[in-house]
A and B are shown apart, each in its own frame.
Chain A
Amino acid sequence: MTTATRDSVGTAHTRVEGRDKVTGAARYAAEVPFAELAHGWLVLSTVARGRVRSVETEAVLAMPGVLAVLHHHNAPRVDTDYVGLLGVPPDLTVALFQHDRVAHRGWPVALVVAETSEQAREAAESLVVHYEEEPHDVAFCAERQTEAYTRDSHAPAVVRKGDLEAQLAASAVVVDAEYTTPEEHHNPMEPHAATARWEGGRLEVVDSNQGTTWVAGELASLFSLDPASVRVRSEHVGGGFGSKGVRAHQVAAVMAATVLQRPVRVVMTRRQMFSLAGYRSPTAQRVRLGADADGRLRALEHQSLNQTSTVYEFVEPGAAASRAMYAADAHHTVNRLVRLDVPSPTWMRAPGEAPGSFALESALDELAERCGIDPIELRVRNEPAAGPVSGLPFSSRNLVACFEEGARRFGWSGRDPRPGARREGRWLIGTGTAAASFPAGVMPSTAAVTAEADGTFTVRINAADIGTGARTALTLVAADALGVPTDRVRVRIGDSDFGPAMIAGGSMGTRSWAWAVTAAAGELRQSLAPGAEIPPEGITVRSDTAEAVGALAQKERHSFGAQFAEVAVDPATGEVRVRRMLGIFAAGRIVNPLTARNQLVGGMIWGISMALHEEAVRDRASGGLYGADLAGYHVAAHADIPHIEADWVDDPDPDDPVGIKGIGEVGMVGAAAAVANAVWHATGVRHRNLPIRPDRVLMAGGDA
């Protein structure tokens, strides 16, 4: 054995698959070659509600190269009566072609399979489907509150503490404001793609997803297969952000491969993704803050309304973001939902916290203004000693340290609090800040670490690297646990045959996997006698963290951060430009500073994009989206993004073997509020409706 070195974690390391990615050698799901491959093309409904009366397959089946048309009369049956890895039943959108109901515009009604993608596309576009159309309802707005209902999800829908109305009545200052965020779409750069085939009695799927254990389990349940007979691989994933679980493309590919008994690939078009890949629900939120004159909160109320489909109940828990942030005598938080004829929403980067923090952290800024207190000082004054509602201790809470470090580096202390006071040419300049937090969780995973005869080590863990740098982070973690340099460690991921593991989601992936890798690697290191011969097949140790994870004490476990933004606003045109941004985070031990910084900055860019650009517009007449493509749906481009800095304070999680908390989402939280607060500081106008478009800035005489 080499002398133990335990300094890989915390040292910048370029991505282990980086060379493959910069040379184009890394193959993503639709790029793995298969002999005899057929191409499937989904056909989506052109009505928003109703029934499929008929599918005119004959003409299409006669077209060149067409092999099959699957629809609700001839598709294999699936079973939806199960609960998947994440503890929730399936979104019935994935139960393709099981009945004639159309639940939203863009609902999958058929799959055309042909020899080439060009043939499949033309045939799919030529397929005539007759509908019995029914009136639809896609109108989401705050007024739907009256018909909304509550539903517990991973978080309870309603949490109450204290007498809210009494505390509001006793407050010297009350902020009561409504906020909205629009429908937002993940739009990973790589479209959803899957190839399915039957091989030696096993179903093999090469897919782009955030967890092959998860997707394999869902497919096994849907198709009533022995889980051991399903293998899903997903080596390189071109982004996910919550959208890459089980979706129509895998189910369609499996159906077609089963019917045709040959490999079938189904790739979503960018336009189809806007109907089939999930999205973040629009929200309508109301925040009421009651405070003493010194800014100390007496009452905190946060209500959030989201939409869901008629086939699945998804809660965007916007109000949950307020449960652990600030001390107040009375707390009331509630998430409600209303069912409409729309696609099912789903998790999207920082679910709940992203829209919720926009409302809460904007309201805090309004309160600071009303109380005449610096926004950072206001947050410090309301810093809780324990969970504001739960009463549980924090595993660690270094929010104030983030604000202090951020304020110093951003130059906050010299800030003139008056809005509209700074002008440079045609631009009004303003700065804003906001707090960030995201739950720091961990889920059971298994890993296998093998000491190879050549002195190297192979780690097998069913992790997913969707751009997070997980593959590299796990290499560093394994190297330290084994006490070897990183170049002796090879990490293999993205294969359900490696055994169950957490998905890349909830900011829990790297922590969950690192725990399992640490456990297996640590045990292997103990078991290897110095100088002992390694047999040709190597020595493998497996781990399962279920017990250790289950034994964790109940605590308030969160990452925190402080966001700072400087914006320029041209009041004559309504243009808003972010000029600089800084985020300081307390997010556990940072495994790889190079990739971590990139990911945190990426989250902040999502916040800018949310604040200024992103908005899917649902056409009430058709029920579908207007401009459902990347020209119509704007995500931030290079020119929108200034130099952004992200850094962190020391904050190792005391209960994690590596000290990790998770950084995938906290970078986004509060970022939109910091931008909106800066726009207020620049112009004196509060923007409570996202995105802050030029027309909104231009027409905002007072509140917008």
Chain B
Amino acid sequence: MPPSASSDLTLSVNGEKYTLTVDHRTTLLDALRERLDLTGTKKGCDQGQCGACTVLVDGRRSVSCLQLAVAAEGREITTIEGVAEGERLHPVQQAFLDLDGFQCGYCTPGQICSAIAVIEEHAAGWPSAATGDVRPEAGPPPLTPEEIRERMSGNLCRCGAYVSIVQAVARAAEQKGAAA
């Protein structure tokens, strides 16, 4: 007998529980967009090659297009709709808005979710490919523009808003006392 091709499951998104039946083929991205009407998470390539679908899974940034919805059960998912505190924008959102860190806006939710995680990862002492000396003795690297660019490189922006995005991430990080 062929295994069942769908499952009943509960997804935890932005602190809310959603119970639904999903075709196993449904990605987390499609579940968010098509089933939960959380369309802030964008589908740019559907192949993990652009970053537009970035969400936080258990606090870590992930591409939701390569994650199956059924495999996301039991994890806490945060999307762009869940990062502000009520009417108050998240500092990263506010910096993107103020510094014009976008043009068409389609990569923006992914950039913002990614940036939120970048600031956290940096605060946790994670090195990057831009870090000269990755040894722990070298200490955490300052969050220079080069570090931000490298860490944000998984989020393509075809409009070319990179310069203001980097400024926005730096400003938001500064508010957390992290920027160089």
Question: In the complex the two chains form, what is the Cα distance from A73 to B164 in whole Å?
Answer: 51
Q: Are B106 and A19 in contact (CB under 8 A)?
A: no
Instruction: Give the chain A neighbours of B153 by CB distance below 8 A.
Output: 637-639
Question: In the complex the two chains form, what is the Cα distance from A635 to B159 in whole Å?
Answer: 11
Instruction: Give the chain A neighbours of B145 by CB distance below 8 A.
Output: 643
Tell me, rounded to whole Å, the shortest Cβ–Cβ distance linking A493 to chain B. Answer: 14
Q: Are B40 and A25 in contact (CB under 8 A)?
A: yes
The interface size of chain A toward B, counting residues with CB under 8 Å, comes to: 63
Q: Are B49 and A631 in contact (CB under 8 A)?
A: yes
Q: Are A598 and B37 in contact (CB under 8 A)?
A: no
Q: Are A22 and B102 in contact (CB under 8 A)?
A: yes
A598-B164, A630-B49 are contacts. A190–B102 as well, Cβ < 8 Å? no
Answer whether residue A26 sits at the interface, using C-beta atoms and an 8 A cutoff.
yes
Instruction: Give the chain B neighbours of A606 by CB distance below 8 A.
Output: 160
Instruction: Give the chain B neighbours of A309 by CB distance below 8 A.
Output: none
Answer whether residue A469 sits at the interface, using C-beta atoms and an 8 A cutoff.
yes
The interface size of chain B toward A, counting residues with CB under 8 Å, comes to: 60
Instruction: Give the chain B neighbours of A122 by CB distance below 8 A.
Output: 25
Tell me, rounded to whole Å, the shortest Cβ–Cβ distance linking A639 to chain B. Answer: 5
Instruction: Give the chain A neighbours of B165 by CB distance below 8 A.
Output: 638
Answer whether residue B157 sits at the interface, using C-beta atoms and an 8 A cutoff.
yes
| Identity of the chain A residue whose Cβ is nearest the Cβ of B164 in the assembled complex | A598
| Identity of the chain A residue whose Cβ is nearest the Cβ of B40 in the assembled complex | A24
Instruction: Give the chain A neighbours of B96 by CB distance below 8 A.
Output: 22
Answer whether residue A605 sits at the interface, using C-beta atoms and an 8 A cutoff.
yes
Q: Are B47 and A189 in contact (CB under 8 A)?
A: no
Answer whether residue A604 sits at the interface, using C-beta atoms and an 8 A cutoff.
yes
| Identity of the chain B residue whose Cβ is nearest the Cβ of A236 in the assembled complex | B105
Answer whether residue A601 sits at the interface, using C-beta atoms and an 8 A cutoff.
yes
Q: Are A629 and B104 in contact (CB under 8 A)?
A: no
Question: In the complex the two chains form, what is the Cα distance from A18 to B96 in whole Å?
Answer: 9
Answer whether residue A191 sits at the interface, using C-beta atoms and an 8 A cutoff.
yes
Q: Are A638 and B150 in contact (CB under 8 A)?
A: yes
Tell me, rounded to whole Å, the shortest Cβ–Cβ distance linking A663 to chain B. Answer: 12
Q: Which of A116, A467, A638 contacts B152, CB < 8 Å?
A: A638
Q: Are B166 and A638 in contact (CB under 8 A)?
A: yes
| Identity of the chain A residue whose Cβ is nearest the Cβ of B110 in the assembled complex | A189
Tell me, rounded to whole Å, the shortest Cβ–Cβ distance linking A279 to chain B. Answer: 14
Instruction: Give the chain A neighbours of B105 by CB distance below 8 A.
Output: 17, 20-22, 26, 236, 238, 467
Answer whether residue B71 sits at the interface, using C-beta atoms and an 8 A cutoff.
no
The contact string, 1 if C-beta is below 8 Å from chain B, for chain A 590-631, is 000011011101111110010000000000000000000111
Instruction: Give the chain A neighbours of B161 by CB distance below 8 A.
Output: 598, 601-602
A28-B106, A33-B37, A189-B156 are contacts. A601–B163 as well, Cβ < 8 Å? yes
List which A233-279 residues lie within 8 A (CB) of chain B: 236-239, 241, 267, 269-270
| Identity of the chain A residue whose Cβ is nearest the Cβ of B52 in the assembled complex | A189
Q: Which 7 A-B pairs have the closest CB atoms?
A: A24-B40, A238-B106, A467-B104, A602-B160, A605-B160, A21-B105, A467-B103
6 contacts between A and B (CB under 8 A): A19-B97, A22-B105, A118-B23, A190-B104, A191-B44, A241-B158
**Chain B residues packing against A (C-beta within 8 Å):** 23, 25-26, 30, 33-34, 37-47, 49-50, 52, 79-81, 84, 89, 93-94, 96-98, 100, 102-109, 112, 130, 145, 148-150, 152-166
